[in-house]
């Protein structure tokens, strides 16, 4: 027996530090779920719910935009003629089709913009809470809780930050080298701008096209429908403008935090 009470030749098994066991997810008794604060899981679930709603509304806008742009009037000078729908669907009356398409598209665009605003506000709230926790030492095994939140949440259709973060490297708690910062920032802007153009440009183009088509057909309908249609178009356009402003503000904030 040695001085520590162990037989000669037998060494005491070295205990794995707690933070290493968490990072390797090899915990004996405690589950990793117990190591994640309930607050972070709740914030991730809230963001994921907002993401799901936003993604569904954008898909609704995209599908509606296809049914607005693809069909053609049989006579461009006579909007009262029937419209040939795509995908083998039957013909419909031109005037009523123009009205219904602009109403549905405007409603979906307004709902999508509201969902986008809700998602941005939810993300900002979650990040503010985590920043305060971090200032008070709220870290899990030396890891930044914001990166944990990003791992637990569901990504949205317009989220490209993960591509830039791969180049940035695992530098959660300290600034990466200057070259990595520059490359990751350039890549973020390079990926974000085309996505933003398609993501918000498609609703804008479809709304403009639907409004122009309805303008030709509006004299054939009663004034009430014209008032309702143009009110919906203006509302949808203003909602898209707000969504664009929020997205630009979010991008600017992300770039500031990266530096």
Q: Is residue 47 part of a domain?
A: yes
Question: Which domain, by its residues, includes 224?
Answer: 37-69+101-258
Element (H, E) at 156: none
In this predicted structure, the answer to whether residue 152 has a pLDDT above a threshold of 70 is: yes
What is the tally of helices (H) and strands (E) in the chain?
8, 3
Tell me, yes or no, whether 165 lies in a domain: yes
Q: How many domains does the chain have?
A: 1
Task: Kindly tell me if the per-residue pLDDT of 56 is higher than 60.
Answer: yes
Exposure letters 232-254 (e unless 16+ CB within 10 A, then b): bbeebbebbeebbebbeebbeee
Q: Please, what is the average pLDDT of the chain? A: 75
Q: What is the DSSP letter of 143?
A: B
Q: Which residue is associated with the tokens 């098994």?
A: 13
- What residues pair up with 73 in beta bridges, in sequence order? 83
Q: Note the pLDDT tens digit of each residue in 83-130.
A: 666 566 666 666 777 888 889 999 999 999 999 999 989 988 888 888
> Is 222 inside any structural domain?
yes
In a domain, 10, yes or no: no
The pTM (predicted TM-score) of the whole model is 0.73
Determine, yes or no, domain membership for 246.
yes
């Amino acid at each position: 027996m040695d001085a520590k009470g162990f037989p000669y030749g037998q060494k005491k098994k070295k205990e794995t530090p707690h933070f290493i066991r968490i990072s390797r997810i090899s915990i004996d008794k405690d589950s990793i779920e117990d190591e994640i604060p309930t607050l972070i899981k709740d914030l991730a679930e809230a963001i994921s719910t907002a993401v799901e709603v936003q993604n569904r509304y954008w898909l609704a806008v995209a599908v509606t935009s296809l049914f607005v742009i693809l069909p053609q009037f049989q006579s461009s000078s006579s909007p009262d003629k029937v419209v040939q729908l795509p995908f083998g669907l039957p013909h419909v009356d031109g005037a009523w089709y123009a009205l219904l398409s602009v109403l549905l598209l405007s409603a979906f665009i307004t709902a999508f913009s509201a969902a986008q605003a809700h998602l941005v506000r939810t993300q900002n709230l979650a990040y503010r809470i985590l920043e305060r926790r971090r200032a008070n030492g709220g870290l899990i095994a030396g890891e930044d809780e914001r990166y944990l939140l990003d791992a637990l949440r569901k990504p949205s259709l317009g989220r490209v930050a993960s591509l830039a973060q791969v180049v940035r490297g695992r530098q959660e708690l300290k600034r990466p080298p200057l070259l990595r910062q520059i490359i990751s920032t350039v890549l973020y802007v390079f990926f974000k701008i085309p996505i933003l153009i398609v993501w918000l440009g498609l609703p804008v183009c479809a709304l403009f096209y639907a409004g122009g088509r309805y303008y030709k057909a509006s004299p054939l309908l009663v004034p009430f429908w014209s008032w309702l249609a143009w009110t919906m178009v203006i509302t949808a356009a203003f909602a898209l403008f707000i969504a664009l402003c929020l997205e630009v503000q979010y991008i600017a904030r992300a770039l500031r935090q990266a530096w």
